[in-house]
Structure 1
Amino acid sequence: MGFYSANTPEEKRVKKLTGDINISDMFKNECETRGIPIYNAYNIQKRLLHEVEQEQLHGVKEVDDRLMELLDERGKNKVTHRYVDFITNEDSASRGVIPPKGSDKKSLPPKNQIKIPPRARDGKQFLNDDELPEIEMLKKIMLQNKKIINQNKLILEQLKKLGENND
């Protein structure tokens, strides 16, 4: 069995670019070169994760563009390079994620072609209480009565034990 990750490609990309819980060293260095304080780096990371969770960003490219916008907004120093180009997109791709369900209603056969299997393994159909013959009904009632009697015996034994302990 494989490990299934619930992270979307966008969340993976944010974590790859900025770090997971702690800010990654590359992102920290990038913020220092742009003159962004460390608390603003954390704010950028939180902002990106929030926008991804709210499904405002769709796709890895939008995450990259939004990160660059936030870096440019908060940055005091002009930088010529593009930070997101340094980090590869390979790890952001979600492998093993269940694809979204399509709107194909034609994949199911018509209702009249769907066969419902019998309830028992051997293919035996069980009858309702109304359809049971009288002998089968009496056997069923007797079995239920035996179960009730056995339960009552156990209860009486427990009560006797409790009564002995109280004396």
Structure 2
Amino acid sequence: MGFYSANTPEQKRVKQLTGDININEMFKNECNTRGIPIYNAYNIQKRLIHEVEQEQLVGVKQVDDRLMELLDERGKNKVTHRYVDFVAKEDSASRGTIPPRGDEKSSLPPKDQIKIPPRARDGQTFPTDDELPERELLKKIMLQNKKIINQNKVIIDLLKKQGEKDD
């Protein structure tokens, strides 16, 4: 059996860029280069996670852009490169998601043209009492009478037991 992760691509991207519970080394080094203290790095990570959970950031690109904004706001030193370009996007966006279906032609007709036949017993019709031959009709009546007789025997036995208790 497989394991299905409920994380969205945005959540995966935040974890990939900043780390999970502990901040990863690349993000720590980037924050040190920009002159951002470690507690602010944790604050940036929490801010990104919060905005993704509140669905303010939709898409991996928005997560990248927001991280760069936060790094630029908090950073004391100017840096010429973009941190998010060092981390591969393909891994975070594609893992755990079902790839889109190709446009290949299948040999099956469209769903609206497929007719499912009824089950065998749904297709049969049962004759009514008027259409039954006389012998079948007598068998049916005898079976009903047997059922009634058996029910009456059970009732008589229960009444006998009640009568014995009253004596």
TM class by shorter chain equals 0.5 to 0.7
TM, length-normalised to structure 1: 0.60
RMSD: 3.7
Provide the secondary structure at the position in 2 that maps to 1:14. helix
Name stretches of at least 5 consecutive residues in structure 1 with no aligned partner: 101-106, 126-134, 143-167
Change (3 A) 1:32 1:96: closer
In structure 2, stretches of 5+ residues that fail to align are 101-109, 123-139, 148-167
How far apart are residue 32 of structure 1 and its match? 0.8
- Report what 2:19 is aligned to: 19
Q: What is the total number of aligned residue pairs between the two structures?
A: 128
Mapped partners of 1:117, 1:95: distance in 2: 42
1:81 to partner: Cα distance: 1.1
User: What is the identity percentage for the equivalent residue pairs of Structure 1 and Structure 2?
Assistant: 77
Give how far 1:99 is off.
7.8
Q: Which has the higher helix share?
A: 2
* Equivalent residue, structure 1, for 2:72: 72
Detail structure 1 runs of 4+ shifted over 4 Å in the superposition: 113-118
Tell me, yes or no, if the aligned pair for 1:36 and 1:75 is still in contact at 8 Å: yes
Give the SS at the match of 1:93: helix
Q: Following TM superposition, by how much is the alpha carbon of 1:114 offset from its aligned partner in structure 2, in angstroms?
A: 8.5
- Name the counterpart of 1:153: none
> What is the CA-CA distance between 1:96 and the residue it aligns to?
4.3
Moved more, 84-93 or 13-22: 84-93
CA contact (8 A) 1:8 1:94 kept: no
The 5-angstrom pairing of residues 11-160 of structure 1 reads 11-97=11-97, 109=112
Aligned to 2:162: none
- 3-state SS of 2:94 partner: coil
